Amino acid sequence: MSTVTDSPVADRSGLTPELQAARRRKVRRQRLAPVLYIGPAFLAIAVIIGYPVVNAIGTSFLDASLLRPGQDTFAGLGNYLALFGDPEFLTVLGRTLIWASSALVVQLGLGLLIANTLNKKLRARGAIRTTLIIPWIVPTVLVALIWRFMLDPVSGPINELLRSSGLLDNPPIWLADTRFVLPVLVLISAWKWTPFGAVILLAGMQQIPQEQHEAAMVDGANAWQRFRNVTVPAIRTSIALVTLTTISGAINNFNGIWMFTRGGPAGATEILTTLAYRTAFTQFDFGKASAISVVIFAMMMMIAVVYFYVVEGRKGGPR
Amino acid sequence: MTRRDSRLTRRQLLTLGGGAAAAGFTLSACGTGPAGGSDPTGSGGESGGGGTLELWANTATAGDADSPLQQATQAWGEANGVTVNVQGISTQDLVPKLTTTSAGGEGPDVAIVDVSSVPQLAAAQVLADLGGRADAVSGDFGEELLAGSSYDGTLYGLPYTTNNVALYYNNTMLGDAGIEVPTTWDELREAAIELTGGEQYGYMMGAQGQGAFLFWPWLWQNGGSIMNEDLTAATFADDIGQEAFAFYSGLVLEDKVMPPEFIASNASWDEYVAPFVQGRCAMMAIGPWGTAPIVDGNPDLDWAVAALPTGTEAASVLGGTGIGIGYNSANPDLAWELISWLTAADQMSYIQDSGNIPGRADVIDSDWATEDPNRQVFIEQMEVARARPALPVWGDIEWGVMASMWDAVIQGQQAPADALTAAAEEATATLSS
């Protein structure tokens, strides 16, 4: 009995020492190969990303201004203390979180709705799907031009429609009204980015075997119950992926705000990235701007960690 | 020493780009190219042989291949066997790009920049001290204009173009209402109120930095000042300043004479001129750059330019461009030759063809000055136009502190007097930081 089970092992270990050594060399070579393949790319990434990251962190501890070239001094935690002691910065930090969570609610909600609709047998589904993806491929500069025109207080179609339909006699100046500007930018950014999430969610939904839906139908589940109890649990990974990319995309979204309002009016749309840009290129305070960048970086790292645990970890192995 | 400096600053540069890249936030909006200055056309640092000069200016000044500036540089280049590469960079990106490339030890040989950014570019070692080079020619330019190209009493450029802000008015609207062109604060206010009604508005104002920039003439006209003599404290919120600001903000808050969308006019002058061009707004204060959009957008509009209405004295705000040598230029002598040639009397037609007023003093008495009455207004106002304080942090004061203050006022978040006082304190704090 034991000899039978042991026999393959015995066969393997029955190799001559020379062959064993050769095998070990081969294994070593095989283990080394991926390192050699990945090495140059890894090195390039380390230089292009790693070096600047280290330097950004370094500069964030300096009193460094481009208006005083070559006169940097060590500031310790000075830049960070100044930031976190500044109510304005804390407001901007809070606004960044509101901006990111609003983006998530709108984009994930709409994304699920769109994906679920397109997952049914529709006529011209392909055409609809293609049309839907268009906003995603429109460059942000164009998005800004399109929406600035759409929302123009005098000649823009949206206010024109609101006036002519009698809904509002004096429609707001959307991009200059502190009450509306942030929600409006959330919606515009959703217009551009929702299709991306919808496509990922749709891909997830198409992996669900039709039988599961049919079984639920036989059990008497209505459309909402099927969506809630069959679709959503099956695409948890896709939802997590869209959640994390949406949050990180929103925190990093600079163009989507700068090209509309430059952080105004009266600071109503200032988020961390626009503040970092302003600090660096209006005030030329690179120490403080680096500290803000490091705060952003820390937030992104947290998201990345969550991503690896939730999305990659759940799959229990390499993709 | 210089070597060490440039290494340090290069590191800073990489640093910020890195922080940004690390955070994944693209700086695509802030520059047209890599900040490291890997420009293959050869910037100053590489030219060495004396055969190439790199000139940077904003897009409007650089223009396309047959713009007046490019014709001029080409003519000079052919005569001297030098290739001049003119690179246009959008106005908003020009200062950041110049500053970051220079921090990396690179940058153009010659730069044409807004006068208000000269002190900042001087301090940041983007522009080189002209030293004694300009001694022979500085007499050709007015004192206030030279002050606009100086920092700390040293000349960092020559005046290239000059401008100031005057009153544009719609002839038809004023004529129909039987209103004379206003010449005093009270007349301006009365005319603006009179001309406002229904879909029509009396006077245009700007938001953010535009609103801040356009306040200075009124401050000066009331006898006020932006900073004290030694540039250590903001003085614009003293009693005289408060009085001027009450008038200026009163046009918005009490008289409500401007098109409601003015609060969205925050960066582009196109937005600012639109109501006037559309014939919905009767008056606006703007520099000569307001003319082209009117001529292009509404050629039938009947309009003219008058001197700004005056307070206790006449004043306007001095704008325009200065032309200087890049700090890292390998060929400063050649760069200076180009600069002195471009700003010489014989080359004025190139600047005039671009629709700008040359910065030379002799332009005031020229036939060209009197040939167009609107142009003449701006040229006559040169006498009372004042430069803003020559401070490296000026950009942050005008387009940061003052812009936020003005937005808070027009958005109804802060009372004008409180806002102005707070802004003065913040500006003073900026000076000492």
Give the Cβ contact number of residue B91 at 10 Å. 17
End-to-end CA distance of chain B: 25
Task: Point out the residue among B8, B275, B413 whose CB comes nearest to the CB of A70.
Answer: B8
pLDDT at B68 over 50: yes
Residue B50 confidence class, pLDDT cut points 50, 70, 90? low
Tell me the CB-side half-sphere exposure of residue B145, using CA atoms within 13 A. 27
Query: Who has greater pLDDT, B248 or B46?
Result: B248
Whole-complex ipTM? 0.78
Question: Nearest C-alpha of chain B: how many angstroms from A316?
Answer: 27
- SS3 string, B204-252, reads ECCCHHHHHHCCHHHHHHCCCCCECCCCCCECCCCHHHHHHHHHHHHHH
pLDDT at B94 over 80: yes
Instruction: Name the B residues in 200-219 with CB < 8 Å from any A CB.
Output: 207-208
Among candidate residues B155, B154, B200, the one with its CA nearest the CA of residue B336? B155
Q: Do B15 and A59 touch (CB under 8 A)?
A: yes
A270 near A92, Cβ under 8 Å? yes
Question: Nearest C-alpha of chain A: how many angstroms from B128?
Answer: 13
pLDDT at B168 over 70: yes
Identity of the highest mean pLDDT range in A46-50, B43-47, B64-68, B330-334: B330-334
**Residue A16: its pLDDT value, please?**
82
Residue B11 confidence class, pLDDT cut points 50, 70, 90? very low
Q: Do B29 and A289 touch (CB under 8 A)?
A: no
List helix spans (H) across chain A.
2-13, 17-45, 51-59, 78-84, 87-118, 125-137, 140-150, 157-164, 181-205, 210-218, 223-226, 232-234, 236-252, 255-261, 272-281, 286-307, 313-315
**Residue B2: its pLDDT value, please?**
38
Q: For the CA atoms of chain B, what is the radius of gyration?
A: 22
pLDDT at B42 over 70: no
The mean pLDDT of A3-10, rounded to a whole number, is 46
The mean pLDDT of A244-255, rounded to a whole number, is 92
Whole-angstrom distance, CA of residue B357 vs CA of residue B170: 23
The mean pLDDT of A238-244, rounded to a whole number, is 91
pLDDT at B9 over 80: no
pLDDT at A309 over 90: no
B394 near B119, Cβ under 8 Å? yes
Q: Do A67 and B393 touch (CB under 8 A)?
A: yes
The per-residue pLDDT of chain A, averaged, comes to 87
pLDDT at B163 over 90: yes
B325 near B332, Cβ under 8 Å? yes
A vs B, Cβ pairs < 8 A, gives 171
Q: Which of B4, B10, B16, B116 to mutate against chain A (most A CBs within 10 Å)?
A: B16
**Residue B44: its pLDDT value, please?**
39
Range of lowest pLDDT (A52-66, A230-244, A267-281, B9-23): B9-23
Give residue-wise pLDDT tens across range B141-159. Answer: 988 899 889 998 899 999 9
Range of lowest pLDDT (A47-56, B155-164, B177-186, B248-257): A47-56
Residue ranges of E strands in B287-398:
303-306, 316-325, 357-358, 385-386
The mean pLDDT of B31-41, rounded to a whole number, is 35
Give the Cβ contact number of residue B212 at 10 Å. 22
The mean pLDDT of B319-338, rounded to a whole number, is 95
Range of lowest pLDDT (A179-188, A266-275, B39-48, B202-211): B39-48
Residue A319 confidence class, pLDDT cut points 50, 70, 90? very low
Q: Do B411 and A178 touch (CB under 8 A)?
A: yes
Strand partners, B56: B87, B111
**Residue A130: its pLDDT value, please?**
82
Question: Phi and psi dihedrals of B44, rounded to 5?
Answer: -50, -40
With a CB cutoff of 8 Å and minimum separation 6, the contacts of A54 are B18
**Residue A314: its pLDDT value, please?**
59
Task: Classify B223 in phi/psi space as left (phi over 0), alpha (psi -120 to 50) or beta.
Answer: left
**Residue B10: its pLDDT value, please?**
43
pLDDT at A190 over 90: yes
Residues of chain A above pLDDT 70, percent: 93
pLDDT at B420 over 70: yes
The per-residue pLDDT of chain B, averaged, comes to 87
Task: Point out the residue among A60, A258, A265 whose CB comes nearest to the CB of B407.
Answer: A265
Whole-angstrom distance, CA of residue B57 vs CA of residue B67: 12
Task: Point out the residue among B15, B25, B408 whose CB comes nearest to the CB of A290.
Answer: B15
Task: Point out the residue among A67, A265, A286 whose CB comes nearest to the CB of B263.
Answer: A265
Whole-angstrom distance, CA of residue A312 vs CA of residue A301: 15
